[in-house]
Amino acid sequence: MHRPLLLFGAFLVAALLLVGGCGTNGEPSAGGPVHPADTTALQTRADTLAQRLVEAHGGTAWASAPYLRFNFAVDRGSAEGRPIRHLWNRSTGDYRVEWGPSEDTTYVALINVGEVQGGVPAGAVYLDGSALEGARDTTMRRQAYRRFINDTYWLLAPLKVFDAGVSRTYLADSSDAEHDVLHLTFGDVGLTPDDEYWLYVDSETGRLDRWAFHLQGMADDAPPAVFDWTDYQTLLAPRGDVHLAARHASTSGPTAILTNELSLPSSVPDTAFSSPEPMLADGLP
């Protein structure tokens, strides 16, 4: 399976190779389902728990949000890495992601995550305003797509438990008075279908408190990596509130994954998905 071309060094090579909930043919759907189809009854305790998880994070409201804006960064305790900036038109699949090794060098990818062939989305990538060409353009579009897969899953996993190809199991032996545990495995979808996740759902609030994962790139006998989901933000969508965690703190060290600068804009500038210029401080072109 393909692997993301990560920008953060060896420490997070395993931790960031996430499958992301995926649609048919192994490609993520533009918005992704947030609950089972109306014609599908909740058959199992796992499905019931998954539905509670979706509702606690504002699944109905999320379905109505036209745009998503957020940053992705790694906080190593002593220093925070440069943010990767994301903007998503959820109705069209148009996607903007920009990143760079320094303040004066920036890649801007303008892609469509609903138009993907062989792991490469339609679109273009620019370096400091100049369009890339040939094999380099293809490579960087693939990297931008992997950033979409990885970074949105750190933010939206609680809303993607009913995506196509996701299998859910309730773990009674692991659950306790504080948490119900949902085990996720995957069919032949996504970039890393052999990943496994354990979602620790707060028994009182229904929100995701913690997850553990064992990824297909990790040694078979490696223990799962564990991260606490904290700093929940409430975002207003047309149909209500969406609740998303802005910080994911490792339980084994000072590192945290940040999914912050969150917003659900009701509109964006006309140039948001066409301008190769870097985003301004407010996150929009």
CB 246 within 8 A of CB 263: no
Answer for the pair 136, 150: CB distance below 8 angstroms, yes or no.
no
Q: With bands split at pLDDT 50, 70 and 90, how would you rate the model's confidence at 25?
A: very low
Q: What is the pLDDT of residues 64-96, one digit of tens each?
A: 999 999 999 999 886 678 899 999 999 999 999
Q: 237-258 pLDDT, tens per residue?
A: 999 999 999 999 999 999 999 9
pLDDT for the residue numbered 104: 84
pLDDT at 282: 65
| C-alpha span between 282 and 171 (Å, rounded) | 42
φ, ψ for residue 137 (rounded to 5)?
-60, -45
Pick the closest to residue 71 from 233, 211, 206, 269 (CA basis). 233
- 3-state SS, residue 217: coil
For the stretch 82-134, pLDDT in tens is 899 999 999 999 999 999 888 789 999 999 999 999 999 999 999 999 999 99
* Domain architecture of the chain: domains with CATH: 10-263 (2.50.20)
Backbone angles phi, psi at 117, to 5 degrees: -130, 125
Q: Report the C-alpha gap between 10 and 229 in whole angstroms.
A: 22
User: Which whole number is the average pLDDT over 4-26?
Assistant: 34
Q: Identify whether the C-beta of residue 97 lies closer than 8 Å to the C-beta of residue 113.
A: no
pLDDT band at residue 27, thresholds of 50, 70 and 90? very low
For 92, residues 6+ apart whose C-beta sits below 8 A from its C-beta are 30, 112, 114
- The amino acid present at 149, given as its one-letter code, is I
Residue 29's pLDDT is 47
- Mean pLDDT over the full length of the chain: 86
- Residue 83 token pair: 């943010």
- How far apart are alpha carbons 112 and 99 in whole angstroms? 17
pLDDT cut 90: percent of the chain above it: 74
Q: Residue 116 is inside which H or E element, if any?
A: strand 105-117
User: Among candidates 111, 99, 69, 72, which has minimal Cα distance to 87?
Assistant: 69
Taking alpha carbons only, the member of 143, 131, 142 closest to residue 274 is 131
d(CA 227, CA 140): 29
Q: How far apart are CA 137 and CA 158, in angstroms?
A: 33
Contact (Cβ atoms closer than 8 angstroms) between residue 79 and residue 197: no
pLDDT of residue 20: 35
Reported pTM: 0.87
- What pLDDT is attached to residue 77? 82
Cβ atoms of 141 and 154 within 8 Å: the answer is no
**SS3 at position 72:** strand
Task: Please give the angle made by the CA atoms of 33, 39 and 40, to the nearest 5 degrees.
Answer: 70
List, in sequence order, every residue forming a beta bridge with 236; answer none if it has no partner: 241
> Over pLDDT 70: what percentage of the chain?
81
